[in-house]
Chains A and B, each alone.
Chain A
Amino acid sequence: MLQILETNLQSHRALIDRWKFYWYILWKSKSSALGFTIIALLLFIAVFAPYLAPYKPDDYVGLRMAGPTLDHFLGIDHLGRDLFSRLIHGSRISIQIGVLAVSISLFMGTLLGLVAGFFGGNTDNIIMRAMDVMMALPYILLAILIATVLGPSLENAILALGVVRIPRFARLARGNTLYVKELQFIEASHSVGASSLRIILKDILPNIIGPIIVYATLSLGEAILGSATLSFLGLGAQPPIPEWGAMLNEAQRFIRIAPHLSIFPGIAILMTVLGFNLLGDGIRDILDPKSKR
């Protein structure tokens, strides 16, 4: 019994050590540390938005289009709302969009890629040719198309952004599946009578998930950027939702007289996308120690 306890303790310690090691790798590189900091800050802001924001996002607080002052230090928008508070509330929306859209592409793409790679033959051909057709169109155009057909709303924008990225995940998953399924432990699994479903989910998926997670992190930034684009074009979030892209859309009319209304949401988008990209690189270094440059 004591021995069991001891080994449990040992494996527990090994686990802690492993996380410490990941932490070390993440902080060793300045860029991934910066990315991590930005994203941590963003998450903090999103979680505590109502407490951090000095005003409600939709309240009239003062003179329209006033520049930054001490009370409203990012200024006031064209409807008299506090820009700083709106940006803070907008972070929630952006994270939602990113996570939901990427979840759709991650789930569907990985599933399709696994099935195509594992079964091969006609299954593979049908799935991957459909993916190729989707890849042939620039993805933002495809997203605009889907969002237009479904009607402009935040939900539809998320769906559109999720769908257009499915092919990328499918390709990534399929490529790695093709490699992993030829390894000997898969044959060993077959030889003990494992079903295809079991082999796909328990043997192949854990072995291909690393690069997919990295790609998902990088996609978060792109999905947020994509949603800003759709909203800017009026196809995504509709006013008064404080979505950053929608704010840019409203602000462009006043870019000459109130440039701060365009600049600050732009910076927010830039920082978020940058943060996710840097963090994604950091996670890649953790998950694939051999890719050291």
Chain B
Amino acid sequence: MEALLQIQDLFVNFYTYRGVVKAINGIRLNIRKSESIGLVGETGCGKSVTARSIVKLIDRPGVIESGHVFFEGKDLLALSEAELRKVRGKQISFIFQEPKKALDPTSKVGHQLIEAIQKAQPVSKQGSKDMGSDILNQVGLADPHRIMNSYSFELSGGMAQRVMIGMAICGKPKLIIADEPTSALDVSIQAQIIRLIGNLTTQYGSSLLLITHDLGLAAENCDRIAVMYAGNIVEVGAVEKVFSQPCHPYTIGLLKALPSLEADRLFSIPGTVPDLICPPPGCHFSPRCSGKTDQCSKESPPFKEISEGHGVACFCP
């Protein structure tokens, strides 16, 4: 299948007072047209940084050191700020973790939505108002007029996230990046919101990059899954493959650590996440790995395909 977005050898560093944090170490990832891909990993492994790097939303002290992000043939990282602005929102849009913080508290929700619509396509004021109501209906908000006349603090978290989703899809983007869209929400609404994002992306034929640390969420809603550890993608593959035949020891550990009804003690991967200022030599996971060899702590393992569409970065999968 054709790739919509190709991330190639991306390196991102953060220059802090303590030292240089090597947040992303040469990531490669392809996102195909109208597929949904889950990017999973624990807090601080670089999921969000990867997503923001795609449209160069990295601010000081973060610096994109090298790499390419090809989106429909052009390298986004080589574009000027003005050209990038045309891509953001229109072709690649974001859904953030905390919807109420992602809305401007001083202007009405409808105003912000209409602006997003007008930015995405040339429509009249009345036309954009009608479109705004339509979109709010589509994201499952009854009484769109009241919502449009409200401020963000007058909405509940779930409502605000629906509005954000509406703003994200209004330009019919080719890629939607959802950065932990349900983490700040009530468990009871999480499923609804995720299903809504899924339905709308299918309806508009958009691709979805779903960032989450919830493996179950990714398993249910994604076609493919990419597992990140300490700034590297360690395993990529179709959801069924990765879950049934995990190859990287980290993925295996993660899956074992899922709570189940049978086990009485929860499994946990020994050790802690490495400090990315001075990461361990070789494979970043080697200090915690049970099956490590001498090679593991000397060289970093290349990413290789072990079966059709299933790749892993490990010497001895």
Contacts and interface: CB of A to CB of B under 8 A. Distances in A.
Contact of B96 (A184, A193, A195): A184
B89 A207 contact: no
Contacts of B87: 193
Given A185-B101, A207-B104, A191 B88 contact: yes
Contacts of B55: 191
Interface string A165-186: 0000000000000000001110
B94 A193 contact: no
A203 interface: yes
B149 A195 contact: no
Q: Which of B55, B87, B88 has the most CB of A within 10 A?
A: B88
Contact of B88 (A193, A202, A206): A193
Chain A's interface size range is 20 to 34
Contact of A190 (B57, B103, B105, B164): B57
A183 B103 CA distance: 10
A177 B70 CA distance: 34
B85 A206 contact: no
A192 interface: yes
Interface of B: 55, 57, 60, 84-90, 93-94, 96, 98, 101-107, 116, 119, 145-146, 149, 164, 167
A59 interface: no
A203 B104 contact: yes
Nearest to B82: A195
A142 B145 CA distance: 54
Interface string A193-233: 11100000011001100000000000000000000000000
B145 A4 contact: yes
Nearest to B168: A192
Nearest to A195: B85
Q: Which 6 A-B pairs have the closest CB atoms?
A: A192-B89, A193-B88, A193-B85, A184-B101, A191-B94, A206-B106
B85 A207 contact: no
B149 A188 contact: no
Contacts of A4: 145
A187 interface: yes
A267 to B, nearest CB: 41
A185 B105 contact: yes
8 contacts: A10-B146, A11-B149, A187-B57, A188-B96, A189-B104, A190-B57, A191-B57, A203-B104
Given A188-B96, A206-B107, A193 B57 contact: no
A69 interface: no
A7 interface: yes
Interface string A11-30: 10000000000000000000
A187 B103 CA distance: 10
